[in-house]
DNA sequence: AATAGTATTGCAAATGTTTTCATAATTTCG
DNA sequence: CGAAATTATGAAAACATTTGCAATACTATT
């Protein structure tokens, strides 16, 4: 239990204490089967008593992996990515990796800066959200030959390996659900789509689906708001107090949908009788609001876990093959949508 | 723009390309004023064309800071810590640090493991949530002389520097609010308090405040649930369907309070007429639910930002003095509480 | 009991930087 | 114009590891 730390405790201090060479100490950690049980015991005792902790920085210098993976997300703050981050973190932790996390606030230039920062730390891989990134980021990844992964969005012609869902399909499913219920006056509340291919994919798919039914959304029924319950609530309130009110609201994600729901409630509108609302995502909590939110479920936890597993495999494997995983969406019909009422 | 990467690009490759010595290249980065503008230009050009990226692992080996700070939170998943993590991340990023993030799921032994892991990465400091940690963790921090910080909770007799709020006071404020409104039958929904000093502080303060008024909470009005909207909702439903129903619910945090609110709504209870509900935290979204949640505001963003600033100062300063910062709580009265109605 | 084989250990080089010290080049100014 | 001061650069040691190779100590086989 005693530790006499005169100066730093490094591998040679341990070696000295155990009366062996540094090489042997190193081997005890990295190839324990190459060292005799007796010396291993001596060394472990020395490690204990000195409180030695391995120095990954020094290991990294030898071409050993750093044991870190960088994840860059648009935002940590909102419910949106919290679940994937958690799952991804747990998943790579199981494989012995640590998570370097950064956010860019939907600014792809900041995303580039974050990736660069991670590269300085010699991360073993970098995971990004979505498939749309700046030219510079792509070049950086290419040049540095750093394993990279795109999560959250899926496309078969992604350049990077990806684990995610088909956001275009998500938009279409949401639209089709409302259409099937007979809604024709549909309001759209989405975030800005620059630097956010998920939102863009969803929105364009929604427009496609509506157009196929010969429906176009009047501009006063289309609103733009950041991913924030309160701002979405405001946006929804002003949309819903226009002269003509849509019978349904299709929201860019569940955060916005919750805002819309609260907006409706604060205006005294009955959901779903007076107004149907559908979100996309099925975030934590969406099941529990009253009434329960109808939404298109994106399996965040599955995506995070799978991404972590496959990516660490990819990184540690000898000759890694690229992979693309499309996680299934699911229409979750709860209580915020109903057939359009006869007027 | 060309890069001929025959092998690795390190500082000596850059030196060669710029026809200077490695030392000069290093100096250009670390003490640019010591090298002539002309050579600096040459070197920068070489850096560009080779796509060189500095290697912090190698720097770290020289006793230079690694430029990383480890943050260990109980959970990333819920709204609870998302806001602090975001603020902390942004704040340390401004000071040039990167965030290593891990979660322990309210298990203090896992917390220890995470801190150890971070120590292997030679983080420049480690931030933990709360003031209660395992004996082993405390010893580790002490022995390794690693700068450590406690966030989220504040106590003047904390051993570690801390930036947070007085959770005992938070509990008391919540209780006093309900008492002032005339409530005497108060239900309590809290998480398990082991390994969670925040919850423990709040709960014991609530009990103290009630006791001072001669009130004791019958066990059927006290319920335990994890921080999860849906589980809290279930817990609240069963509490509210007991024979005798309390007139108010005091919840361990806003996640639980939201669950309780939804529970009440799903039971057809009018909030606040039939039931008052108060939370603690004032998370994102609490302002926007309908009716808006009355709560005790813990300034998560302020805490995160301040913690990041002070901690990086602390780490980079020559002779750091310890600090303890108590962030002010605020009672936020919205629409889920009202005076107890005459029965 | 000698030989071959195997298990265990140590030596030394290598990894990519930074920094101290020394040296060379340039400027200042008496 | 030359000495002193200043500025710019390079050589080499140091940082904490890992690993290929060589050396030594055992074990088994005949």
Going by C-beta distance under 8 Å and a sequence separation of 6 or more, which residues neighbour residue A293?
A254, A257, A258, A261, A277, A278, A279, A282, A286, A287, A334, A335, A336
Q: Assess whether pLDDT exceeds 50 at residue A3.
A: no
Residues of B in contact with A289 (CB under 8 A): 262, 289
Element (H, E) at B327: none
| pLDDT tens figures, B175-186 | 999 999 999 999
List B162's β-bridge partners, or say none.
B150, B324
The answer to whether B200 faces chain A, any CB pair under 8 Å, is: no
**How many residues appear in chain B?**
343
| pLDDT tens figures, A49-75 | 999 999 999 999 998 999 999 999 999
CB-CB neighbours of A198 under 10 Å: 28
> Which of B3, B6, B81, B86 best probes binding to A when mutated, by most A CB atoms within 10 angstroms?
B86
d(CA B251, CA B294): 11
Q: Assess whether pLDDT exceeds 70 at residue B146.
A: yes
pLDDT > 90: percent of chain B: 94
The answer to whether B142 faces chain A, any CB pair under 8 Å, is: no
DSSP secondary structure letter of residue A325: E
The answer to whether some atom of strand D lies closer than 7 Å to the beta carbon of B34 is yes
CA of A54 to C1' of D27 (A): 35
Q: Identify the CA nearest to A229 among candidates B249, B305, B288.
A: B288
Residue position matching structure tokens 């005693």: A2
Q: Identify the CA nearest to B98 among candidates A106, A120, A141, A133.
A: A120
Q: Identify the CA nearest to B92 among candidates B303, B301, B302, B305.
A: B305
d(CA A227, CA A221): 18
d(CA A324, CA B317): 47
- In chain B, which among 101-140 make CB contacts under 8 A with chain A? 101-103, 116-122, 140
| pLDDT tens figures, A98-114 | 999 999 999 999 999 99
Q: Identify the CA nearest to A100 among candidates A120, A83, A81, A80.
A: A120
CA dihedral B272, B278, B283, B285 (to 10 degrees): -10
CA of A26 to C1' of D23 (A): 19
What residue in A sits closest to B7 (Cα-Cα)? Answer: A144
| pLDDT tens figures, A10-29 | 999 999 999 999 999 999 99
The answer to whether the Cα torsion of B89, B93, B95, B101 is positive or negative is: positive
| Mean pLDDT of the A76-84 span | 91
The answer to whether A228 faces chain B, any CB pair under 8 Å, is: yes
Is the Cβ pair B262, A89 closer than 8 Å?
Answer: no
Q: Assess whether pLDDT exceeds 50 at residue B114.
A: yes
Q: Assess whether pLDDT exceeds 70 at residue B228.
A: yes
d(CA A164, CA A12): 47
Q: What is the pLDDT of residue A343?
A: 53
| pLDDT tens figures, B198-212 | 999 999 999 999 999
Residue nearest to nucleotide D10 (CA to C1'): B21
Q: At what angle do helices A79-94 and A300-316 cross, to 10 degrees?
A: 40
- In chain B, which among 35-54 make CB contacts under 8 A with chain A? 51, 53-54
Q: What is the pLDDT of residue A320?
A: 85
Q: What is the pLDDT of residue A342?
A: 62
CB-CB neighbours of B57 under 10 Å: 23
Q: Which nucleotide has the shortest C1'-to-CA distance from B120?
A: D16
Is the Cβ pair B57, A119 closer than 8 Å?
Answer: no
Q: What is the pLDDT of residue B144?
A: 95
Residues of A in contact with B119 (CB under 8 A): 53
**If you average pLDDT over every residue of chain B, what do you get?**
95
d(CA B85, CA B72): 10
Q: What is the pLDDT of residue B1?
A: 41
d(CA B333, CA B292): 9
pLDDT level of residue A250 (50, 70, 90 thresholds): very high
Is the Cβ pair A58, B55 closer than 8 Å?
Answer: no
CA of B310 to C1' of C16 (A): 32
Contact assessment for residue A115 and residue A137, using Cβ atoms and an 8 Å cutoff:
yes
The answer to whether B269 faces chain A, any CB pair under 8 Å, is: no
Q: Assess whether pLDDT exceeds 60 at residue A170.
A: yes
Residue position matching structure tokens 């996309």: A280
Around B215, how many Cα atoms within 13 Å sit in the side-chain half-sphere?
20
pLDDT > 90: percent of chain A: 94
What residue in B sits closest to A89 (Cα-Cα)? Answer: B102
Contact assessment for residue A294 and residue A177, using Cβ atoms and an 8 Å cutoff:
yes
The answer to whether A95 faces chain B, any CB pair under 8 Å, is: no
The answer to whether some atom of strand D lies closer than 7 Å to the beta carbon of A55 is yes
> Which of A57, A92, A225, A230 best probes binding to B when mutated, by most B CB atoms within 10 angstroms?
A57
User: Which tokens in the block code for residue B151?
Assistant: 């966030």
DSSP secondary structure letter of residue B277: E
The answer to whether A269 faces chain B, any CB pair under 8 Å, is: no
Which residues of chain B (36-95) touch nucleic strand D at CB < 7 A? Answer: 36, 38-39, 58, 61-63
Q: What is the pLDDT of residue B206?
A: 98
Q: Would residue A145 be called left, alpha or beta, if left means φ above 0 and alpha means ψ between -120 and 50 degrees?
A: left
The answer to whether B290 faces chain A, any CB pair under 8 Å, is: yes
* Three-class secondary structure of residue A19 per DSSP: coil
Q: What is the pLDDT of residue B342?
A: 62
**If you average pLDDT over every residue of chain A, what do you get?**
95
| pLDDT tens figures, A174-221 | 999 999 999 999 999 999 999 999 999 999 999 999 999 999 999 999
Q: Assess whether pLDDT exceeds 60 at residue A144.
A: yes
Q: Assess whether pLDDT exceeds 70 at residue A1.
A: no
User: Which tokens in the block code for residue A20?
Assistant: 């062996």
Q: What is the pLDDT of residue B8?
A: 82
Q: What is the pLDDT of residue A50?
A: 95
| pLDDT tens figures, A281-324 | 999 889 999 999 999 999 999 999 999 999 999 999 988 899 99
Q: What is the pLDDT of residue B80?
A: 87
Is the Cβ pair B77, A86 closer than 8 Å?
Answer: yes
Which residues of chain B (176-205) touch nucleic strand D at CB < 7 A? Answer: none
The answer to whether B192 faces chain A, any CB pair under 8 Å, is: no
The answer to whether some atom of strand C lies closer than 7 Å to the beta carbon of A34 is yes
| Mean pLDDT of the B249-258 span | 97
Going by C-beta distance under 8 Å and a sequence separation of 6 or more, which residues neighbour residue A53?
A9, B116, B119, B120, B144
Omega within 30 of 0 (cis) for the link into B338: no
Of B122, B230, B233, the CB nearest to A55: B122
Which stretches of A181-215 are DSSP H helices?
Answer: 197-212
Q: Assess whether pLDDT exceeds 50 at residue A171.
A: yes
DSSP secondary structure letter of residue B338: -
d(CA A327, CA B335): 40
CA of B21 to C1' of D7 (A): 17
| pLDDT tens figures, B48-77 | 999 999 999 999 999 999 999 999 999 998
Distance from CA of A214 to the nearest CA of B (A): 35
């Amino acid at each position: 239990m005693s530790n006499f730390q005169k100066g730093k405790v490094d591998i040679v201090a341990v070696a000295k204490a155990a009366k062996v060479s540094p090489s042997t100490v190193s081997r005890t950690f990295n190839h324990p089967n190459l060292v005799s049980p007796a010396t291993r015991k001596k060394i472990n005792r020395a490690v204990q008593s000195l409180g030695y902790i391995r120095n990954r920085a020094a290991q990294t210098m030898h071409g050993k992996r750093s044991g870190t993976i960088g994840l860059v997300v648009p935002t940590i703050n909102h419910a949106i990515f919290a679940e994937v981050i958690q799952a991804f973190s747990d998943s790579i932790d199981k494989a012995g990796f640590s998570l370097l996390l950064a956010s860019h606030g939907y600014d792809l230039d900041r995303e580039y800066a974050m990736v660069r920062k991670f590269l300085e730390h010699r991360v073993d891989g970098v995971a990004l959200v979505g498939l749309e990134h700046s030219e510079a980021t792509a070049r950086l990844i290419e040049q540095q030959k750093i394993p990279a992964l795109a999560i959250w969005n899926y496309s078969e012609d992604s350049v990077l390996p990806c684990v995610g869902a088909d956001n275009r399909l998500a938009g279409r499913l949401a639209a089709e659900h409302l259409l099937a219920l007979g809604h024709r006056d549909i309001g759209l509340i989405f975030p800005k789509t620059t630097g956010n291919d998920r939102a863009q994919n969803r929105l364009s798919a929604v427009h496609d689906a509506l157009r196929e039914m010969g429906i176009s959304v009047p501009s006063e029924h289309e609103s733009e708001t950041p991913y924030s319950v309160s701002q979405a609530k405001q946006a929804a309130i002003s949309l819903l107090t226009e002269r003509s009110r849509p019978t349904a609201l299709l929201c860019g994600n569940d955060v916005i949908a919750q805002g819309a729901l609260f907006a409706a409630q604060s205006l005294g509108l009955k959901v779903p009788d007076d107004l149907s609302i559908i979100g996309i995502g099925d975030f934590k909590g969406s099941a529990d609001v009253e009434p329960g939110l109808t939404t298109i479920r994106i399996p965040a936890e599955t995506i995070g876990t799978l991404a972590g597993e496959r990516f660490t495999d990819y990184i540690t494997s000898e000759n890694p093959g690229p992979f693309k995983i499309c996680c299934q969406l699911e229409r979750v019909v709860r209580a915020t949508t109903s057939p359009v009422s006869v007027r």
